[in-house]
Chain A
Amino acid sequence: MPLDASYTGKSFKSVGTRPLRPDGIDKVTGRAKYGADHNMPGQLVGLVLRSPHAHAKIKKIDTSKAEKLAGVKAVLTATDLPDLTGGDQGMFDILDNCMARTKVFYDGHAVAAVAATDMETAKKALKLIKVDYEVLPHVTDVDEAVKASAPVLHANCFTEGVEPKPKKASNIAKVTEFGHGDVEAGFKDADFVIERNFKTEQTHQGYIEPHACVASVSPDGTGELWVCTQGHFVYRNHCAMLLGMDVSKLRVTSSEIGGGFGGKTHVWVEPVALALSRKANRPVKIVMTREEVFRASGPTSATSIDVKIGIKKDGTITAGKAELRYASGPYLSMWGELGAMTSFACYDLKNVKTRGYEVLVNRPKSAAYRAPSAPMAAFAVESVVDELAKTIGKDPLEVRIQNAAKQGTRSSYGPIYGPIGIGPTLEAAKKHPHMKAPLGKNQGRGYACGFWFNFGGQTCTDINVGPDGSVTLTVGTVDVGGSRASLALCVAEELGIPYGQVKCTVADTSSLGHNDMTDGSRGTFSSSMAGIFAARNTIEVLKERAAKMWEIPVEDVVWENGQAKAQGSKYGNLAPLSLKEIAAAAGNTGGPVAGHAEIVADGAGVSFATHICDVEVDPETGRSRVVRYTVIQDAGKAVHPTYVEGQYQGGAAQGIGWALNEEYIYGKDGRLQNPGFLDYRIPVCSDLPMIDTQILEIPNPNHPYGVRGVGETSIVPPIAAIANAMSNAFGVRMTHVPMSPPRVLKALETAKKA
């Protein structure tokens, strides 16, 4: 029972309620400590020197003048970070990205770093470092990078996944294929086939808090790192490996986090701060500027996607095919692969084939961004599905319902689906009042579906019962979206005590076993499962202690509503023992009461959403405005519905920004032209309508309370939903994101000429 993850179907007292957020007061009063808020005695200021070139050989770095400057305590280059990765290419790429070794691969790539007593000295020192570059031809566009004529980033990059293996190096690092059936036969069966190319520009997660850390390494080989991250255990493991430290000797504490969305799943300046501290023998603090965050952290991929879909007049989709090219920055990743897996996952298709390309370009290393790769693929596929529905004169929502994947469908990425929620989200959309709301002049309505995998992973959780009966829940998954509240709710539920009796804390890496990071919508799914198991183990201890207090066999003790009860008529006169009473006697019954759980949480279950969007387009300026927006998504069980709604709204808001305004703009020189929030425009409150949400609760059979991850799927449909709404607003199909005013005006002018 303690480690049985099966859905219990129990009725809830705490789960599903909306207590005030436990971190709210600290955050609104400024007491919450973020990455840059921590300081250590004797701390130095760390700064990083970054390449102004998109692609260049590093011929020589002269740090001598910087080293001689008064107040400079350490100067660092790649020679201070020797390759200890033992042939692990993925880790070597992380090392090379943190500090360039022989070549720089993008504007902003780190080449050196300094630690000095103050900011002014550190800035002076950076100017005294002389780097001799041999500038090389560069390529930043994903379609240009795959051409045979493109400058090649790595001379040893021979495309993986094609046979025979290429003999010529290229920027296509890997090709991966998914699908089943015969797509060409499917296209022959179709009455209509539409084939289009879609492009999406590179966007940044736009988290409000820049990367920041304070590192301290002692001459005895131990170290501490305070850092803003989505996964301090993973940061610890990576930093320890890159610096040759013992994992157990590096203690990493995660700060509060001002947003991550996947961008804080990778190390960037943290190994550099630790190496500077080791060299200077003083703590070192590095806080990235916003410009550095844009130039040298991990935005999402720019993409170019070819989609071809066939349909019969009766609305049956006969085949779907997609070629998805995802820019990965200078290093191999799996973003094209994920696009290929997710692109047609919403549909029940007899014939489907997708091919994902990992394309290397002279841009910063692409990182995960909330359901990574799925929004771009959904934009392409959902746009064509919409257009096909119009072509055959059917309602686009009905065509989606007709072709939606269901239990027993072979997914486009391979396995057969179990119980899934795409159908219910579409049916809920059909019945939603938004569908009947009148549209104004120059307004259009669009819909789109979205899919994301979700996953679980390694999770370690402790429960400790205090002498007063209050409960400390200690977790190792960083709270990025309200998990401290949801986890405390689940543990209170399992123990049968009020929510206010449980305090959830995120521990440092020396306090718990390894925890995977908070990504893949796993924070509440995984840690609540571990928390429930830890609570069940705690209950076993509480029952043993009650048995000792009563001097009866433990088999005669049951746990109900937060109390131990003696079972059987012979104990009729024994009053129940509360958790508080048992805790008060713990010193006499065996010592502190605690429960633990170390698990691998599998069975997260896939996630689906349907969005409805109304857009108004100004035909004179090309400016678009989202006037109404509705998110419908399955949560399995919404543990704290307010946070779930927040996740739905947050994903939609980011998707709206991605669709309408956000983009990395590179000059011909390969330099980023808009590394700041004035020129890279994310939506603010006044840009958005109130985003309506509808939570569906179809229990996940693989979680005791039926919970599914909710953090990512909500960013998948918005780009497509907005594109479809814009098409209905002014009759032009937009195929290039962002659909910013200049692009909309150009599309309108082109349509007029046609």
Chain B
Amino acid sequence: MAEIHLWGALRPAADGAPVVSIEAKTIRELFRKLEENYPGMAPHIARGVAVSIDGRIYRDSWETALPEGAEIYLLPRIQGG
């Protein structure tokens, strides 16, 4: 069971919780289960969510593994110039 840290915009979808627990082995599985358990997150995931795994930020790769005990932080999928 991984602890998923949420940035502020996602928290209302989880009743204000800053952290939720999800059993997931990859980013794809994480997004799918977040949408199932917290439907309010679906529009954010559709708009773009990046996943920080131990400080390394993944913006696209669904197949990326979520290692046991890793710090997982969800962030907006940012734009650049």
Residues of A within 8 A of B64 (CB): 602
Do A416 and B71 touch (CB < 8 A)? yes
Q: Which B56-81 residues have a C-beta within 8 angstroms of A?
A: 56-61, 64, 71, 73, 75-76, 78-81
B16 at the interface (CB under 8 A from A): yes
Closest 8 CB pairs of A and B: A262-B81, A520-B80, A177-B8, A415-B52, A368-B81, A519-B80, A370-B81, A418-B55
Do B75 and A414 touch (CB < 8 A)? yes
Partner of A458 from B8, B57, B60, B75 at Cβ < 8 Å: B60
Given A161-B9, A414-B73, the answer on whether A265 and B81 have CB atoms closer than 8 Å is yes
Given A174-B9, A414-B7, the answer on whether A519 and B55 have CB atoms closer than 8 Å is no
Do B81 and A712 touch (CB < 8 A)? yes
Residues of B within 8 A of A452 (CB): 80
Could you mark each residue 313-333 of chain A with 1 if its beta carbon is under 8 Å from any beta carbon of chain B, else 0? 000000000000000000001
A192 at the interface (CB under 8 A from B): no
B36 at the interface (CB under 8 A from A): no
Do B9 and A712 touch (CB < 8 A)? no
Partner of A176 from B52, B55, B73, B76 at Cβ < 8 Å: B76
Q: Which B9-51 residues have a C-beta within 8 angstroms of A?
A: 9, 12, 16, 47
Could you mark each residue 225-267 of chain A with 1 if its beta carbon is under 8 Å from any beta carbon of chain B, else 0? 0000000000000000000000000000000000011110100
The 13 listed contacts between A and B (C-beta, < 8 Å) are A161-B8, A338-B76, A338-B79, A368-B80, A369-B81, A370-B81, A415-B54, A415-B55, A416-B55, A418-B55, A455-B59, A457-B59, A600-B60
Measured CA separation A263–B7 after assembly (Å): 27
Do A415 and B81 touch (CB < 8 A)? no
Do A262 and B80 touch (CB < 8 A)? yes
Most central of B8, B47, B58 by chain A CB within 10 Å: B8
Do A457 and B60 touch (CB < 8 A)? yes
Residues of A within 8 A of B57 (CB): 415, 453, 455, 602-604
With both beta carbons as reference points, the residue of chain A lying nearest to B15 in the complex is identified as A163
Most central of A174, A262, A455, A521 by chain B CB within 10 Å: A455
Residues of B within 8 A of A453 (CB): 57, 78, 80
Most central of A333, A414, A457 by chain B CB within 10 Å: A414
Q: With both chains docked as a complex, state the minimum distance between the C-beta of B41 and any C-beta of chain A, in angstroms.
A: 13
Q: With both chains docked as a complex, state the minimum distance between the C-beta of B65 and any C-beta of chain A, in angstroms.
A: 13
Q: What's the A-B contact tally at a CB cutoff of 8 Å? A: 111
Do B56 and A456 touch (CB < 8 A)? no
Do B81 and A519 touch (CB < 8 A)? yes
Do B8 and A176 touch (CB < 8 A)? yes
Q: Which A569-607 residues have a C-beta within 8 angstroms of B?
A: 600, 602-604
Q: With both chains docked as a complex, state the minimum distance between the C-beta of A359 and any C-beta of chain B, in angstroms.
A: 16
Do B79 and A160 touch (CB < 8 A)? no
Residues of B within 8 A of A333 (CB): 79
Given A414-B52, A416-B54, the answer on whether A521 and B80 have CB atoms closer than 8 Å is yes
Do A455 and B9 touch (CB < 8 A)? no
A34 at the interface (CB under 8 A from B): no
Measured CA separation A454–B81 after assembly (Å): 10
Do B71 and A341 touch (CB < 8 A)? no
Residues of A within 8 A of B7 (CB): 176-178, 413-414
Q: With both chains docked as a complex, state the minimum distance between the C-beta of B77 and any C-beta of chain A, in angstroms.
A: 9
A522 at the interface (CB under 8 A from B): yes
Q: With both chains docked as a complex, state the minimum distance between the C-beta of B36 and any C-beta of chain A, in angstroms.
A: 21
Measured CA separation A250–B75 after assembly (Å): 34
Measured CA separation A260–B64 after assembly (Å): 32
Do B60 and A372 touch (CB < 8 A)? no
A730 at the interface (CB under 8 A from B): no
Measured CA separation A90–B44 after assembly (Å): 12
Q: With both chains docked as a complex, state the minimum distance between the C-beta of A86 and any C-beta of chain B, in angstroms.
A: 12
Residues of A within 8 A of B16 (CB): 163
Q: With both chains docked as a complex, state the minimum distance between the C-beta of A115 and any C-beta of chain B, in angstroms.
A: 32
Other than the given A416-B55, A454-B80, A455-B80, 11 more pairs (CB < 8 A) read: A176-B7, A177-B8, A260-B81, A338-B76, A368-B79, A372-B80, A415-B55, A418-B56, A458-B60, A603-B56, A711-B81
Residues of B within 8 A of A455 (CB): 57, 59, 78, 80
Measured CA separation A263–B52 after assembly (Å): 27
With both beta carbons as reference points, the residue of chain B lying nearest to A371 in the complex is identified as B81
- Number of B residues near A (Cβ < 8 Å) is 25
Residues of A within 8 A of B12 (CB): 161-163
Residues of B within 8 A of A457 (CB): 59-60
Measured CA separation A612–B8 after assembly (Å): 34
B residues near A (Cβ < 8 Å) are: 5, 7-9, 12, 16, 47, 52, 54-61, 64, 71, 73, 75-76, 78-81
With both beta carbons as reference points, the residue of chain A lying nearest to B63 in the complex is identified as A600
Q: Which A428-455 residues have a C-beta within 8 angstroms of B?
A: 452-455
Partner of A602 from B8, B55, B61, B73 at Cβ < 8 Å: B61
Given A178-B8, A370-B81, the answer on whether A341 and B54 have CB atoms closer than 8 Å is no
Could you mark each residue 345-376 of chain A with 1 if its beta carbon is under 8 Å from any beta carbon of chain B, else 0? 00000000001000000000000111110000
Partner of A415 from B47, B60, B73 at Cβ < 8 Å: B73
Q: With both chains docked as a complex, state the minimum distance between the C-beta of B39 and any C-beta of chain A, in angstroms.
A: 15
Q: With both chains docked as a complex, state the minimum distance between the C-beta of B63 and any C-beta of chain A, in angstroms.
A: 9
Q: With both chains docked as a complex, state the minimum distance between the C-beta of A255 and any C-beta of chain B, in angstroms.
A: 19
Q: With both chains docked as a complex, state the minimum distance between the C-beta of B50 and any C-beta of chain A, in angstroms.
A: 8
Residues of A within 8 A of B8 (CB): 161, 175-178, 355
Q: With both chains docked as a complex, state the minimum distance between the C-beta of B62 and any C-beta of chain A, in angstroms.
A: 9
Measured CA separation A372–B79 after assembly (Å): 8
A337 at the interface (CB under 8 A from B): yes
Q: With both chains docked as a complex, state the minimum distance between the C-beta of B23 and any C-beta of chain A, in angstroms.
A: 21
Most central of B59, B64, B81 by chain A CB within 10 Å: B81
Residues of A within 8 A of B61 (CB): 600, 602
Residues of A within 8 A of B81 (CB): 205, 260-263, 265, 368-372, 519-520, 711-712
With both beta carbons as reference points, the residue of chain A lying nearest to B55 in the complex is identified as A418
Measured CA separation A535–B44 after assembly (Å): 37
A702 at the interface (CB under 8 A from B): yes
A666 at the interface (CB under 8 A from B): no
Do B79 and A712 touch (CB < 8 A)? no
Q: With both chains docked as a complex, state the minimum distance between the C-beta of B2 and any C-beta of chain A, in angstroms.
A: 14
A334 at the interface (CB under 8 A from B): yes
Residues of A within 8 A of B60 (CB): 457-458, 600, 602
A417 at the interface (CB under 8 A from B): yes
Do A602 and B58 touch (CB < 8 A)? yes
Do B9 and A702 touch (CB < 8 A)? no
Residues of B within 8 A of A355 (CB): 8
Measured CA separation A418–B70 after assembly (Å): 13
Most central of A369, A370, A413 by chain B CB within 10 Å: A413
Most central of B5, B57, B64 by chain A CB within 10 Å: B57
Partner of A334 from B54, B56, B59, B76 at Cβ < 8 Å: B76
Q: With both chains docked as a complex, state the minimum distance between the C-beta of A343 and any C-beta of chain B, in angstroms.
A: 14
Measured CA separation A600–B52 after assembly (Å): 15
Do A520 and B73 touch (CB < 8 A)? no
Could you mark each residue 674-714 of chain A with 1 if its beta carbon is under 8 Å from any beta carbon of chain B, else 0? 00000000000000000000000000001000000001100
Residues of B within 8 A of A90 (CB): 47
Partner of A712 from B55, B59, B80 at Cβ < 8 Å: B80
Residues of B within 8 A of A712 (CB): 80-81
Measured CA separation A389–B7 after assembly (Å): 31
Residues of B within 8 A of A162 (CB): 12
Given A163-B16, A370-B81, A415-B75, the answer on whether A337 and B54 have CB atoms closer than 8 Å is no
Measured CA separation A182–B47 after assembly (Å): 30
Do A341 and B78 touch (CB < 8 A)? yes
